[in-house]
Structure 1
Amino acid sequence: MRTQRMTVGVLGVLGVLALPLAACGTESGSGAGPGDSGDGGGTVRTEVPVTGVHWKVSSLTVGGKRTAAPEGAHVEIDSEGKATGSLGCNRFTADVRVDGAGMTVGRSTTTDMACEEDVQRFETAMGRTFRGELKAAVAGRSDEKTLTLTTPEGDAMALTSEPPAPLTGTAWKVTGLVSGSTASSLPAGTEDKAHLTFGKDGSVEGSLGCNSFHGTAKVSGSTLTFGPLTSTRKMCPGPEMELERALLAVLDGRTTYAIDHRSLSVAAKSGKGIDASAPAATGR
């Protein structure tokens, strides 16, 4: 398993978007507003909001080579100019300053968890791209937008707005185990095996990593109360059984839960917990 801790400036300087950006568009009719460019061609400048949006990183293009982003890579920006997100494995925060359609980058704080080799390569590339001065362009409808960040060298990061996931009806994939304040990866070889889905009728079902299960989970505020779970009784390899035992220790009785956009955390009174993620939104 891999354990996560916080490190300052691991990726050096990250460039992230923090405030509304200026974007160009065309608009018919007379009457120049405060955003009129004044060129007489009907072009206006409008402020495109990017704060409060969950931007899923879709891909990086570096040196002309495009690489798809790992699941979970994203950026969120608040109204105070603080950006948070995930590089694909490690999480980060950063301060930024925006000037028109560009931005000046501040230093970052990242976690320092060992990652799979291909994910680590992407994180390194994202760190090199997401720094210094960046140009930005936002396009699309209000409910489906794309954001492109481009370096002076022409490398680019493509991002897409993504809606939050509801607790019920979502197939939550278990991605990590928690013990107190320590988060760890799943036992080797079990990364895509455990999942759970909550029904609106108070049911819960899924896989413990080896055996499938079903039961009840009553929702009240931020509390999830699990009834006895019924599962199949297959014997599986050691890592899968280790994961199953860890999940059963959490999904038992009264727990607390929290959803952060498309990430779910469930914690038992013992301090044991799980992290899970929703699949990527479709239709984009």
Structure 2
Amino acid sequence: MRTQLSIPVTALAVIALAACGAESGPGSGSGGGTVQPDVPVAGVHWTVDSLTVDGTRTEAPDGAHVEITDKGRARGNYGCNHFGADVSVEGDTVTVRPAEMTEMACGEKVQNFEDALRAALTGRLKAELTDGRLILTTEKGDSIALTSQQPAPLVGTKWVVNGLVLGDTAASLPAGAQDKAYLTFGKDGSVRGSLGCNRFTGTAEISEDSIAFGRLASTRKLCDGPEMDVERKLVKVLEGTATYELNHRSLTLTGPDGEGIAAVAAEIPGEK
């Protein structure tokens, strides 16, 4: 583990806004009105939409998010690495304290975003909440945009593979294999998708914490390089019983040997 600065400040910023919004009268703002946040605090899942630094806006990687508890702790994912931290809040001003962060190997593009995000989330930040959208602004004018989102169901969601898991460690997909492998569980007990090179269909018996996969049928296209490497690992996970962990819009499947995959929700039933 290494010590870094983390995005969990978003959640507690909203707590501060909620507290301020409960007051009214001459001292509650320039107009003497009441500020009412539009989003509940505890249990809210904040998806990081983008980061703007020196006037340049960059979209966040899939899976970047923040979740909060009612005890002043926040946890989430930058899009590659997980984090957790404590912060202090006074009114709509948030001061970031050092945070814990994993050391997963990330692709260059994602790593650059994470570095920029951590740099933006230092010192004092101003929080603004409007209609489920949260904006955090640094003293130099850089900003982070976030929105609240509902969780994705296991069945019916298109899960795009974005990482490989080995025990307690994980790594992003190699260059050339990103955004190609995915799977979708059907209500009829089926599973189908792409292994990264070949398409596949099969059966999946879902229980409380595991999925028993039946024999897979797939096309027989031959691919070279990273696509085929990822395909072999995915087939290994899907050829027996795998444990799964569903965390809002993130899914992890792990085989008996500790090897597995991480995926994020790309298409969710009923959501445009």
TM-score category of the 2 structures, normalised to the smaller one: 0.7 to 0.9
Q: Structure 2: where are the runs of 5+ without partners?
A: none
Identity, in percent, stands at 53
1:73 aligns with 2:60: no
- 2:8–2:84 CA contact under 8 A, matched in 1: no
Q: Amino acid of the residue matched to residue 128 of structure 1?
A: A
The answer for the alignment partner of 2:213 in structure 1 is: 226
Match in the other structure for 1:3: none
Letter in 2 for 1:43: G
2:95 touches 2:123 (CA, 8 Å); kept in 1?
yes
- Supply the distance in 2 between the matched residues of 1:101 and 1:245 (Cα, whole angstroms): 50
1:169-211 deviation line (CA, Å, top 9, x unaligned): 1110111222222323334311121110000110000111111
Pick one of 32, 35, 43 that aligns with 1:45: 35
Number of aligned residues: 266
> Matches of 1:114 and 1:183 in 2, distance apart?
7
Q: Residue 93 of structure 2 corresponds to which residue in structure 1?
A: 102
- The alpha-carbon distance between structure 1 residues 149 and 280, as it changes in their structure 2 partners (threshold 3 A), is farther
270 and 117 in structure 1: CA distance in 2 versus 1, 3 angstrom threshold? closer
Q: Which has the higher strand share?
A: 1
The one of 117, 120, 135 aligned to 2:126: 135
Instruction: Tell me what 1:157 maps to.
Output: 144
1:198 and 2:191 correspond: no
1:176 paired to 2:163: yes
The correspondence for 2:74, drawn from 79, 83, 88, is 83
Structure 1 CA distance for aligned equivalents of residues 231 and 238 of structure 2: 10
Change in Cα spacing, 1:192 to 1:77, as seen in structure 2 (3 Å) is: same
* Residues 232/129 of structure 1: CA separation in 2 closer, same or farther (3 Å cut): same
Query: 2 CA distance for matches of 1:118 and 1:178?
Result: 20
Query: Per-residue displacement from partner, 1:141-167 (whole Å, max 9, x unpaired)?
Result: xxxx00011122222111111111110
Task: Give structure 1 stretches of 5+ with no counterpart.
Answer: 1-5, 27-33
Please state how far the C-alpha of 1:14 moved relative to its aligned partner. Answer: 5.9
Structure with greater Cα Rg: 1
Q: Secondary structure at the match of 1:21?
A: helix
Q: 1:16 aligns with which of 2, 9, 12?
A: 9
Q: 1:177 to 1:101 in 2, by over 3 A?
A: same
> CA contact under 8 A between 2:18 and 2:36: conserved in structure 1?
yes
Q: How much does 1:91 deviate?
A: 2.1
